[in-house]
Amino acid sequence: MEHRRLGSSGLKISEIILGNWITHGSQIDDDTAISCVHAALDAGITTFDTADVYAATAAESVLGKALRNQRREGVEIATKVYWPTGPGPNDRGLSRKHIRESIHGSLRRLNTDYVDLYQAHRFDHETPLEETLHALHDLVVEGKVNYLGFSEWRAEEITAALEIIQRDHLTSLVSSQPQYSMLWRVIEAEVLPLCQANGIGQIVWSPIAQGVLTGKYLPGQPVPAGSRASGGEGAGFISRFMTDEVLNAVQQLKPIAAQANITLAQLAIAWTLNRPGISAAIIGASRPEQVSENVVAAGVTLAPEIIDAIDAALGSIVVTDSALTSSPNPRP
Protein backbone atom coordinates (compact mmCIF):
# COMPACT_ATOMS: atom_id res chain seq x y z
CA MET A 1 0.00 0.00 0.00
CA GLU A 2 1.38 3.37 -1.00
CA HIS A 3 0.94 6.47 1.16
CA ARG A 4 0.47 10.03 -0.05
CA ARG A 5 0.68 13.44 1.57
CA LEU A 6 -2.68 14.93 2.43
CA GLY A 7 -2.56 18.13 0.45
CA SER A 8 0.44 20.22 1.43
CA SER A 9 0.36 18.98 5.03
CA GLY A 10 2.95 16.69 6.58
CA LEU A 11 0.36 13.96 7.18
CA LYS A 12 0.66 10.84 5.05
CA ILE A 13 -2.40 8.69 4.49
CA SER A 14 -2.90 5.39 2.72
CA GLU A 15 -4.00 6.06 -0.85
CA ILE A 16 -6.92 3.72 -0.26
CA ILE A 17 -8.97 4.45 2.85
CA LEU A 18 -11.57 2.18 4.41
CA GLY A 19 -14.81 4.03 5.14
CA ASN A 20 -17.77 2.73 7.13
CA TRP A 21 -20.74 4.72 5.84
CA ILE A 22 -24.01 2.74 5.44
CA THR A 23 -22.71 -0.73 6.31
CA HIS A 24 -20.85 -0.79 9.63
CA GLY A 25 -23.05 -0.45 12.68
CA SER A 26 -26.22 -0.99 10.69
CA GLN A 27 -26.35 -3.29 7.64
CA ILE A 28 -23.78 -5.84 8.82
CA ASP A 29 -23.02 -7.24 12.26
CA ASP A 30 -20.16 -5.87 14.33
CA ASP A 31 -18.00 -8.98 14.00
CA THR A 32 -18.09 -8.76 10.21
CA ALA A 33 -17.40 -5.03 10.30
CA ILE A 34 -14.40 -5.59 12.56
CA SER A 35 -13.16 -8.30 10.21
CA CYS A 36 -13.31 -5.79 7.35
CA VAL A 37 -11.18 -3.34 9.35
CA HIS A 38 -8.66 -6.06 10.16
CA ALA A 39 -8.54 -7.10 6.49
CA ALA A 40 -7.78 -3.47 5.63
CA LEU A 41 -4.96 -3.38 8.16
CA ASP A 42 -3.56 -6.62 6.76
CA ALA A 43 -3.63 -5.06 3.28
CA GLY A 44 -1.63 -2.06 4.43
CA ILE A 45 -4.49 0.42 4.81
CA THR A 46 -3.75 2.69 7.76
CA THR A 47 -6.39 5.39 7.27
CA PHE A 48 -10.03 4.97 8.31
CA ASP A 49 -12.95 7.30 7.58
CA THR A 50 -16.13 7.57 9.60
CA ALA A 51 -18.58 10.22 10.86
CA ASP A 52 -20.68 10.83 13.94
CA VAL A 53 -23.88 10.52 11.90
CA TYR A 54 -23.08 7.14 10.35
CA ALA A 55 -25.48 4.52 11.73
CA ALA A 56 -26.64 7.09 14.30
CA THR A 57 -23.14 7.19 15.89
CA ALA A 58 -22.79 3.37 16.00
CA ALA A 59 -20.27 3.30 13.13
CA GLU A 60 -17.74 5.24 15.18
CA SER A 61 -18.16 2.79 18.06
CA VAL A 62 -17.55 -0.19 15.78
CA LEU A 63 -14.40 1.41 14.39
CA GLY A 64 -13.20 2.15 17.91
CA LYS A 65 -13.63 -1.52 18.83
CA ALA A 66 -11.87 -2.68 15.67
CA LEU A 67 -8.81 -0.50 16.30
CA ARG A 68 -8.67 -1.03 20.07
CA ASN A 69 -5.55 -3.21 20.03
CA GLN A 70 -3.75 -1.29 17.30
CA ARG A 71 -0.83 1.01 17.94
CA ARG A 72 -2.54 4.43 17.84
CA GLU A 73 0.46 6.09 16.20
CA GLY A 74 0.24 3.61 13.33
CA VAL A 75 -3.25 4.53 12.10
CA GLU A 76 -4.99 7.69 10.93
CA ILE A 77 -8.59 8.22 12.02
CA ALA A 78 -10.85 10.69 10.24
CA THR A 79 -14.34 11.65 11.34
CA LYS A 80 -16.82 14.39 10.59
CA VAL A 81 -19.40 16.75 12.10
CA TYR A 82 -22.55 18.49 10.79
CA TRP A 83 -25.51 16.14 10.31
CA PRO A 84 -28.05 15.60 13.12
CA THR A 85 -27.00 13.24 15.91
CA GLY A 86 -29.92 13.95 18.24
CA PRO A 87 -33.40 15.50 18.37
CA GLY A 88 -32.47 18.99 19.58
CA PRO A 89 -31.95 22.14 17.47
CA ASN A 90 -28.28 22.24 18.51
CA ASP A 91 -27.63 18.56 17.76
CA ARG A 92 -26.60 19.49 14.23
CA GLY A 93 -24.69 22.01 12.15
CA LEU A 94 -21.35 23.70 12.73
CA SER A 95 -22.00 25.93 15.72
CA ARG A 96 -19.33 26.08 18.40
CA LYS A 97 -21.68 24.23 20.76
CA HIS A 98 -22.32 21.34 18.39
CA ILE A 99 -18.71 21.05 17.21
CA ARG A 100 -17.40 20.81 20.77
CA GLU A 101 -20.04 18.36 21.90
CA SER A 102 -19.61 16.26 18.75
CA ILE A 103 -15.84 15.90 19.04
CA HIS A 104 -16.17 14.79 22.66
CA GLY A 105 -18.72 12.16 21.62
CA SER A 106 -16.58 11.00 18.70
CA LEU A 107 -13.46 10.66 20.85
CA ARG A 108 -15.39 8.62 23.40
CA ARG A 109 -16.87 6.28 20.78
CA LEU A 110 -13.59 5.91 18.90
CA ASN A 111 -11.77 5.19 22.16
CA THR A 112 -9.02 7.72 21.42
CA ASP A 113 -7.68 10.99 22.79
CA TYR A 114 -7.52 12.67 19.38
CA VAL A 115 -8.53 12.27 15.75
CA ASP A 116 -6.08 12.82 12.94
CA LEU A 117 -8.56 14.56 10.66
CA TYR A 118 -11.80 16.35 11.55
CA GLN A 119 -13.99 17.51 8.69
CA ALA A 120 -17.05 19.72 8.37
CA HIS A 121 -19.48 17.28 6.75
CA ARG A 122 -21.30 20.02 4.82
CA PHE A 123 -21.39 23.82 4.78
CA ASP A 124 -23.61 25.33 7.48
CA HIS A 125 -25.70 28.20 6.11
CA GLU A 126 -27.06 29.01 9.59
CA THR A 127 -23.78 29.50 11.47
CA PRO A 128 -21.28 32.33 10.85
CA LEU A 129 -18.27 30.84 9.10
CA GLU A 130 -15.98 32.65 11.55
CA GLU A 131 -17.62 30.81 14.45
CA THR A 132 -17.11 27.44 12.77
CA LEU A 133 -13.48 28.03 11.81
CA HIS A 134 -12.50 29.41 15.23
CA ALA A 135 -14.19 26.46 16.98
CA LEU A 136 -12.32 23.97 14.77
CA HIS A 137 -9.04 25.83 15.29
CA ASP A 138 -9.51 25.62 19.06
CA LEU A 139 -9.77 21.83 18.85
CA VAL A 140 -6.38 21.71 17.16
CA VAL A 141 -4.87 23.98 19.82
CA GLU A 142 -6.33 21.71 22.52
CA GLY A 143 -4.80 18.59 20.96
CA LYS A 144 -8.12 16.90 20.20
CA VAL A 145 -7.68 17.20 16.43
CA ASN A 146 -4.54 17.20 14.29
CA TYR A 147 -5.81 18.36 10.89
CA LEU A 148 -8.94 20.00 9.50
CA GLY A 149 -10.99 19.64 6.34
CA PHE A 150 -14.46 19.75 4.84
CA SER A 151 -16.78 17.67 2.68
CA GLU A 152 -18.90 18.79 -0.27
CA TRP A 153 -18.18 22.52 -0.04
CA ARG A 154 -18.59 24.76 -3.08
CA ALA A 155 -15.70 26.81 -4.45
CA GLU A 156 -17.08 30.09 -3.12
CA GLU A 157 -17.51 28.57 0.35
CA ILE A 158 -13.94 27.32 0.33
CA THR A 159 -12.69 30.72 -0.81
CA ALA A 160 -14.56 32.48 1.99
CA ALA A 161 -13.05 30.09 4.55
CA LEU A 162 -9.53 30.59 3.20
CA GLU A 163 -9.88 34.36 3.52
CA ILE A 164 -10.98 34.11 7.17
CA ILE A 165 -8.21 31.64 7.98
CA GLN A 166 -5.57 33.95 6.53
CA ARG A 167 -7.02 37.04 8.20
CA ASP A 168 -7.40 35.49 11.64
CA HIS A 169 -4.31 33.25 11.53
CA LEU A 170 -6.27 30.04 12.01
CA THR A 171 -5.37 26.41 11.33
CA SER A 172 -5.27 25.64 7.61
CA LEU A 173 -7.73 23.36 5.86
CA VAL A 174 -5.85 20.45 4.28
CA SER A 175 -8.57 18.12 2.99
CA SER A 176 -11.68 18.14 0.86
CA GLN A 177 -13.94 15.08 0.76
CA PRO A 178 -16.11 15.17 -2.36
CA GLN A 179 -17.97 12.55 -4.32
CA TYR A 180 -15.79 11.78 -7.34
CA SER A 181 -15.71 9.00 -9.90
CA MET A 182 -15.50 8.39 -13.64
CA LEU A 183 -19.20 9.22 -13.77
CA TRP A 184 -19.35 12.13 -11.30
CA ARG A 185 -16.71 14.82 -11.96
CA VAL A 186 -18.37 17.97 -10.64
CA ILE A 187 -15.26 19.08 -8.70
CA GLU A 188 -13.04 19.34 -11.76
CA ALA A 189 -14.07 22.79 -13.01
CA GLU A 190 -13.83 24.83 -9.79
CA VAL A 191 -13.20 22.96 -6.53
CA LEU A 192 -10.25 20.87 -7.66
CA PRO A 193 -8.10 23.69 -9.12
CA LEU A 194 -8.90 25.95 -6.15
CA CYS A 195 -7.84 23.25 -3.72
CA GLN A 196 -4.69 22.43 -5.66
CA ALA A 197 -3.69 26.10 -5.55
CA ASN A 198 -4.17 26.18 -1.78
CA GLY A 199 -2.60 22.91 -0.68
CA ILE A 200 -5.87 21.06 -0.06
CA GLY A 201 -5.92 17.37 -0.98
CA GLN A 202 -8.95 15.42 -2.13
CA ILE A 203 -10.12 12.34 -0.22
CA VAL A 204 -12.79 11.14 -2.61
CA TRP A 205 -15.83 9.07 -1.73
CA SER A 206 -17.84 6.74 -3.94
CA PRO A 207 -15.07 6.08 -6.52
CA ILE A 208 -17.11 3.13 -7.83
CA ALA A 209 -20.32 5.21 -7.91
CA GLN A 210 -22.14 3.26 -5.19
CA GLY A 211 -21.34 0.01 -6.98
CA VAL A 212 -22.46 1.03 -10.48
CA LEU A 213 -18.83 0.92 -11.67
CA THR A 214 -18.50 -2.72 -10.67
CA GLY A 215 -20.64 -3.55 -13.69
CA LYS A 216 -23.04 -5.68 -11.65
CA TYR A 217 -26.08 -3.61 -12.62
CA LEU A 218 -27.18 -4.57 -16.11
CA PRO A 219 -29.36 -2.46 -18.43
CA GLY A 220 -32.93 -3.69 -18.65
CA GLN A 221 -32.43 -6.19 -15.83
CA PRO A 222 -33.78 -6.18 -12.24
CA VAL A 223 -31.29 -4.99 -9.65
CA PRO A 224 -29.68 -7.77 -7.58
CA ALA A 225 -31.49 -8.51 -4.32
CA GLY A 226 -29.78 -6.95 -1.33
CA SER A 227 -27.74 -4.55 -3.46
CA ARG A 228 -27.52 -0.85 -2.66
CA ALA A 229 -29.86 0.00 -5.53
CA SER A 230 -32.56 -2.28 -4.09
CA GLY A 231 -33.37 0.17 -1.29
CA GLY A 232 -32.29 1.51 2.08
CA GLU A 233 -29.76 4.18 2.93
CA GLY A 234 -27.67 5.07 -0.11
CA ALA A 235 -30.35 4.20 -2.65
CA GLY A 236 -30.94 7.87 -3.36
CA PHE A 237 -27.30 8.42 -4.26
CA ILE A 238 -27.21 5.55 -6.72
CA SER A 239 -30.56 6.26 -8.40
CA ARG A 240 -29.11 8.98 -10.64
CA PHE A 241 -26.89 6.37 -12.29
CA MET A 242 -29.53 3.67 -12.72
CA THR A 243 -30.53 4.50 -16.28
CA ASP A 244 -30.03 2.25 -19.28
CA GLU A 245 -27.87 4.92 -20.93
CA VAL A 246 -25.43 4.94 -18.01
CA LEU A 247 -25.51 1.18 -17.45
CA ASN A 248 -24.88 0.50 -21.15
CA ALA A 249 -21.89 2.85 -21.10
CA VAL A 250 -20.50 1.17 -17.99
CA GLN A 251 -20.62 -2.20 -19.76
CA GLN A 252 -18.32 -0.71 -22.40
CA LEU A 253 -15.68 -0.29 -19.69
CA LYS A 254 -15.31 -4.03 -19.09
CA PRO A 255 -12.97 -4.70 -22.04
CA ILE A 256 -10.92 -1.66 -21.02
CA ALA A 257 -10.48 -3.12 -17.55
CA ALA A 258 -9.52 -6.45 -19.10
CA GLN A 259 -6.94 -4.66 -21.24
CA ALA A 260 -5.45 -3.22 -18.03
CA ASN A 261 -5.60 -6.70 -16.46
CA ILE A 262 -7.76 -5.56 -13.54
CA THR A 263 -11.44 -5.75 -12.61
CA LEU A 264 -13.86 -2.97 -13.45
CA ALA A 265 -14.06 -1.91 -9.78
CA GLN A 266 -10.27 -1.82 -9.57
CA LEU A 267 -10.18 0.25 -12.76
CA ALA A 268 -12.62 2.75 -11.27
CA ILE A 269 -10.58 3.17 -8.09
CA ALA A 270 -7.29 3.35 -10.00
CA TRP A 271 -8.79 6.01 -12.29
CA THR A 272 -9.49 8.31 -9.34
CA LEU A 273 -6.01 7.75 -7.92
CA ASN A 274 -4.47 8.64 -11.28
CA ARG A 275 -6.20 12.03 -11.37
CA PRO A 276 -4.31 15.18 -10.31
CA GLY A 277 -4.86 16.53 -6.81
CA ILE A 278 -6.24 13.27 -5.38
CA SER A 279 -4.73 12.19 -2.05
CA ALA A 280 -6.81 9.05 -1.48
CA ALA A 281 -9.96 7.15 -2.44
CA ILE A 282 -12.41 5.79 0.13
CA ILE A 283 -13.75 2.27 -0.32
CA GLY A 284 -16.48 0.56 1.65
CA ALA A 285 -16.82 -3.12 2.44
CA SER A 286 -19.47 -5.45 3.79
CA ARG A 287 -17.15 -8.47 3.47
CA PRO A 288 -13.40 -8.75 4.15
CA GLU A 289 -12.87 -10.18 0.65
CA GLN A 290 -14.07 -6.90 -0.87
CA VAL A 291 -11.21 -5.10 0.83
CA SER A 292 -8.67 -7.57 -0.53
CA GLU A 293 -10.11 -7.25 -4.04
CA ASN A 294 -10.19 -3.45 -4.13
CA VAL A 295 -6.76 -2.73 -2.66
CA VAL A 296 -5.28 -4.16 -5.85
CA ALA A 297 -5.98 -0.73 -7.35
CA ALA A 298 -3.31 0.82 -5.11
CA GLY A 299 -0.20 1.75 -7.04
CA VAL A 300 -1.75 0.99 -10.46
CA THR A 301 -0.68 3.46 -13.15
CA LEU A 302 -3.11 3.71 -16.05
CA ALA A 303 -1.63 4.30 -19.48
CA PRO A 304 -2.84 7.41 -21.37
CA GLU A 305 -4.61 5.22 -23.92
CA ILE A 306 -6.61 3.57 -21.12
CA ILE A 307 -7.68 6.99 -19.80
CA ASP A 308 -8.68 8.05 -23.32
CA ALA A 309 -10.64 4.85 -23.86
CA ILE A 310 -12.57 5.42 -20.62
CA ASP A 311 -13.53 8.94 -21.68
CA ALA A 312 -14.59 7.72 -25.11
CA ALA A 313 -16.73 4.94 -23.64
CA LEU A 314 -18.53 7.22 -21.19
CA GLY A 315 -18.93 10.20 -23.51
CA SER A 316 -21.67 12.64 -22.57
CA ILE A 317 -23.04 10.70 -19.59
CA VAL A 318 -20.29 12.08 -17.35
CA VAL A 319 -21.72 14.64 -14.89
CA THR A 320 -19.56 17.78 -14.64
CA ASP A 321 -21.91 20.56 -13.43
CA SER A 322 -20.22 22.21 -10.42
CA ALA A 323 -23.59 23.64 -9.31
CA LEU A 324 -24.59 20.13 -8.20
CA THR A 325 -22.32 20.45 -5.17
CA SER A 326 -24.56 21.84 -2.43
CA SER A 327 -25.39 21.80 1.28
CA PRO A 328 -28.91 21.91 2.71
CA ASN A 329 -30.32 25.39 3.29
CA PRO A 330 -31.83 25.48 5.82
CA ARG A 331 -29.80 22.76 7.46
CA PRO A 332 -31.65 19.57 8.50
The total number of structural domains in the chain stands at: 1
Instruction: Say which CATH number the domain at 164 has.
Output: 3.20.20.100
**What pLDDT score was predicted for residue 231?**
58
Give percent above pLDDT 90 in the chain: 88
**What pLDDT score was predicted for residue 228?**
59
Q: What are phi and psi of 119, to 5 degrees?
A: -125, 140
Counting runs of H as helices and runs of E as strands, what totals does the chain give?
Answer: 12, 10
Q: Does residue 330 belong to any structural domain of this protein?
A: no
With residues binned 3-state (H G I as helix, E B as strand, rest as coil), the percentages for the chain, rounded to 5, are 45, 15, 40
Q: Tell me the residue range of the domain where 81 lies.
A: 3-324
Smallest CA-to-CA distance from 14 within 136, 117, 109, 112 is with: 117
Q: Does residue 53 belong to any structural domain of this protein?
A: yes
Q: How many CB atoms lie within 10 A of CB 88?
A: 9
Q: Which amino acid is at 78?
A: A
Task: Find out whether 20 and 174 touch, Cβ atoms under 8 Å.
Answer: no
Smallest CA-to-CA distance from 54 within 16, 25, 13 is with: 25
pLDDT band at 109 (very low <50, low <70, confident <90, very high): very high
Q: Report which DSSP code applies to 208.
A: T
Smallest CA-to-CA distance from 203 within 273, 266, 271, 153 is with: 273
Using alpha carbons only, what angle is made at residue 330 by residues 174 and 162, rounded to the nearest 5 degrees?
A: 25
Q: Does residue 332 belong to any structural domain of this protein?
A: no
**What pLDDT score was predicted for residue 234?**
60
- According to DSSP H, which parts of the chain are helical? 30-42, 58-66, 96-110, 129-141, 155-168, 191-197, 235-239, 244-251, 254-259, 264-273, 288-294, 304-314
- According to DSSP H, which parts of 169-201 are helical? 191-197
Cis geometry, peptide bond prior to residue 328 (ω within 30 degrees of 0): no
Q: Does residue 141 belong to any structural domain of this protein?
A: yes
Q: How many CB atoms lie within 10 A of CB 28?
A: 18
Q: Does residue 331 belong to any structural domain of this protein?
A: no
Q: What is the pLDDT of residues 138-162, one digit of tens each?
A: 999 999 999 999 999 999 999 999 9
Checking if the pLDDT of 230 tops 60, the result is no
Count of positions (residues) in the chain:
332
Cα 249 to Cα 121: distance, rounded to the nearest angstrom: 31
Q: How many CB atoms lie within 10 A of CB 232?
A: 13
Q: Which amino acid is at 237?
A: F
Provide mean pLDDT across the span 295-316: 96
For the chain, the distance separating the N- and C-terminal CA atoms, rounded to the nearest angstrom, is: 38
Q: Does residue 252 belong to any structural domain of this protein?
A: yes
Smallest CA-to-CA distance from 151 within 113, 180, 185, 116 is with: 180
Q: Does residue 329 belong to any structural domain of this protein?
A: no
Q: What is the pLDDT of residues 173-204, one digit of tens each?
A: 999 999 999 999 999 999 999 999 999 999 99
Smallest CA-to-CA distance from 208 within 123, 328, 151, 293 is with: 293
pLDDT band at 23 (very low <50, low <70, confident <90, very high): confident
Task: Find out whether 119 and 158 touch, Cβ atoms under 8 Å.
Answer: no
Q: Does residue 244 belong to any structural domain of this protein?
A: yes
Buried b (16+ CB within 10 A) or exposed e, 133-146: bbbbbbbbeeebbb
Query: Is-catalytic flag, 54?
Result: yes
Could you say which of 54, 82, 118, 180 is catalytic?
A: 54
